[in-house]
């Protein structure tokens, strides 16, 4: 039923892409140390790009084994933050890079999401976001991805909350146009 609703909205032109998902809930039989970075990163199944973060105010731990980056923040010497995002659109088996980079569908999706991310970053930086890399290759075990990198600089006083409100959820996770797709996903899921 949900899939048919998504197809209806796509055919009606209400969105370009809608990523339909559903939740998984897990009951852990053991206590997990909130600062489980070393355990997670030491896991042989975790890739070199695996990340974890513990948010003490909320007592929440996020673990990710995905090469896609919603954002990374680096404090520059001028006191500003360099914020970058690396959306991924397009995945193929290792050795199929030529086929992936020539795929009109994957190119169109990546360009659409790159533009969406640039727009999100522009809200933080008064229109100063730039595309640093476009249609780049990223190899991971057994797969090759196509990604872009978009960045901007924002004042050092910018709160994490403001940053999250601007970027979350990531457009490559939701679809586009993001605001309308979020409304549709909320309605459908």
Active-site amino acid positions: 68, 89
Place of tokens 């088996």: 93
Cα dihedral 2, 12, 10, 188 in deg (nearest 10): -30
Instruction: Report which of 64, 55, 63, 80 is spatially closest to residue 151, judged by C-alpha positions.
Output: 80
- For residue 27, CA distances in Å to 24, 30, 53, 93, 130 come to 10, 9, 20, 33, 42
CB atoms < 10 A from the CB of 109, how many? Answer: 21
Question: Can you tell me the distance from the alpha carbon of 168 to that of 165, in angstroms, rounded to the nearest whole number?
Answer: 6
Say how far apart CA 4 and CA 41 lie, in whole Å: 40
């Amino acid at each position: 039923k949900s899939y048919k609703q998504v197809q209806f909205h796509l055919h009606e032109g209400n969105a370009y892409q809608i990523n339909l998902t559903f939740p998984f809930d897990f009951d852990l039989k053991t206590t997990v140390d909130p600062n489980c970075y070393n355990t997670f990163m030491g896991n042989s199944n975790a890739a070199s790009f695996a990340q974890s973060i513990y948010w003490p105010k909320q007592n929440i731990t996020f673990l990710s084994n995905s090469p896609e980056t919603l954002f990374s923040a680096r404090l520059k010497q001028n006191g500003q933050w360099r914020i970058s995002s690396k959306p991924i659109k397009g995945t193929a088996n290792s050795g199929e890079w030529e086929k992936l980079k020539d795929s009109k569908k994957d190119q169109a999706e990546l360009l659409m999401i790159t533009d969406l991310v640039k727009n999100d970053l522009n809200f933080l930086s008064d229109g100063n976001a730039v595309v640093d890399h476009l249609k780049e290759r990223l190899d991971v075990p057994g797969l090759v991805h196509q990604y872009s990198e978009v960045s901007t600089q924002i004042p050092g006083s910018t709160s994490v909350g403001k940053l999250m409100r601007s970027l979350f959820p990531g457009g490559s996770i939701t679809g586009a146009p993001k605001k309308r797709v979020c409304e549709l996903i909320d309605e459908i899921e």
